[in-house]
Amino acid sequence: MKIVPRIAPFGAFVAMLLAGCGGSSFATGLVSLGSVVPSATLTPNSIAVSGDYAYVALQGSAGAIAVLDISTGAPALLTTFPMPCTQPNGIKVSGGYAYVTCYDTGALYVLSINNADPAAPVLAVVGSVSGLQSPYPGTSLSGTHLYVPSHAGFIFRVDVSNPAAPVIDGSVATAAGTSPNAVYVANSIVYCACSSEPMQSWFQTFTATGTMTLLGQIPLTHSPQRVVVSGNYAYVTNFDSMKLDIVDVTNPAAPSVLTSVALPCNALPVAVTASYAYVGCYSAQGIATINITNPANATVLRYTATSASPVQDLALSGTSLYAVSGNAGGSFNTLANAF
């Protein structure tokens, strides 16, 4: 099982983007609007974006959630909220709540978010549930349920309709010997990037409601890390094989790999628009922009290299792409002209 390091600066990221891109279109690359370091000692792991705010899970000697103002483009750190764990990873935000999983405690914590004073947001833990068995960061929120991939080889479904009392109300085992690194829920289907070493890795689909059951599966090379579904296609990053697999999920019970796009790096996060996929590279440090207008003929338009910063997570909102590095003291960056 490939376990990507969770605790590992985008310090030169902005300069490299501006020097290496030279423009504002996809043909010439991405342009940075600014960056900020949420913590001098902790490691950014995951991003959630909601309205004028970005929320970053920070890991290390003490876990925390950083809240950033992204309303003007250039991000600004507003506050850092201490977590009751050291390894918060998956984070999703909806309405007035943040849903944060923690690898070390195996728990989900529900945080209320009060933005009455935009310059000083207030967060508080209002509910929690344990038993998630070392959750991975690739969680998915659908309606009143959070779907959580677990290192133990399960996908857990957590009912968060009552934020003060979340409850696990479903689970399903993934393929033998696999750990689901990430899930994505759409149209009442759970899509899973299920990784394993040295056994076979899989892309699997499950029913999301009622009793969670396996619908279909297809083998993948090592080691699928993240998955995003858009339309009839799932976009799956592969760390070891250094590629992006595009899976046709028109029939979720019979998924098939449409094409694979070779990348110059160990791929980790992925973010997708109608026309482009962005893949963050952990080892070679950079972001690949891929034209997916025709998914069957997807091509890399640009690879923007960074100097010494693994790209740990990406998020899209509006016309901006957001990125964090996977190093202690790593940066949060806002990238413009992402469409």
Of the chain, the end-to-end C-alpha distance in Å amounts to 35
Cβ atoms < 10 Å from Cβ of 276: 19
Confirm if 259 and 297 have CB atoms less than 8 A apart.
Answer: yes
pLDDT of residue 8: 36
Confirm if 172 and 206 have CB atoms less than 8 A apart.
Answer: yes
* Those residues with Cβ within 8 angstroms of residue 86's Cβ, 6 or more apart along the chain or in another chain: 59, 60, 61, 62, 63, 102, 104
**Alpha-carbon distances, residue 260 vs 9, 221, 253 (angstroms):** 30, 11, 20
Confirm if 184 and 234 have CB atoms less than 8 A apart.
Answer: yes
Please give the CATH topology (third level) of the domain spanning 10-173+264-336.
Methylamine Dehydrogenase; Chain H (2.130.10)
Instruction: Give me the half-sphere count of Cα atoms (radius 13 Å) on the Cβ side of residue 154.
Output: 15
Q: In this structure, what token pair is assigned to residue 77? A: 């750190």
Confirm if 269 and 280 have CB atoms less than 8 A apart.
Answer: yes
Confirm if 220 and 233 have CB atoms less than 8 A apart.
Answer: no
Distance CA 207, CA 312 (A): 29
φ, ψ of residue 45 in degrees (nearest 5)? -120, -50
Strand-pair category, 311-317 with 299-305:
unpaired
Distance CA 148, CA 108 (A): 9
pLDDT of residue 215: 98
Cβ atoms < 10 Å from Cβ of 117: 9
SS (H, E, C) 244-281: EEEEECCCCCCCEEEEEEECCCCEEEEEECCCEEEEEE
pLDDT of residue 309: 78
* Those residues with Cβ within 8 angstroms of residue 323's Cβ, 6 or more apart along the chain or in another chain: 10, 13, 47, 280, 287, 311, 313, 314, 315, 332, 333, 335
* Those residues with Cβ within 8 angstroms of residue 198's Cβ, 6 or more apart along the chain or in another chain: none
Confirm if 58 and 44 have CB atoms less than 8 A apart.
Answer: yes
Q: In this structure, what token pair is assigned to residue 335? A: 């990238």
Distance CA 122, CA 115 (A): 7
Q: List the chain domain ranges.
A: 10-173+264-336
Give me the residues paired with residue 158 across strands: 146, 168
Of 195, 237, 204, the residue nearest 2 (C-alpha) = 195
Each residue's pLDDT, cut to its tens digit, for the chain (339 residues) gives 344 443 333 334 433 433 333 333 333 468 888 999 999 999 999 999 999 999 999 999 999 999 999 999 899 999 999 999 999 999 999 999 999 999 999 999 999 999 999 999 999 999 999 999 999 999 999 999 999 999 999 999 999 999 999 999 999 999 998 999 999 999 999 999 999 876 789 999 999 999 999 999 999 988 899 999 999 999 999 999 999 999 999 999 999 999 999 998 899 999 999 999 999 998 767 899 999 999 999 999 988 776 567 999 999 998 899 999 999 999 999 987 544
pLDDT of residue 68: 98
* Those residues with Cβ within 8 angstroms of residue 71's Cβ, 6 or more apart along the chain or in another chain: 52
* Those residues with Cβ within 8 angstroms of residue 162's Cβ, 6 or more apart along the chain or in another chain: 127
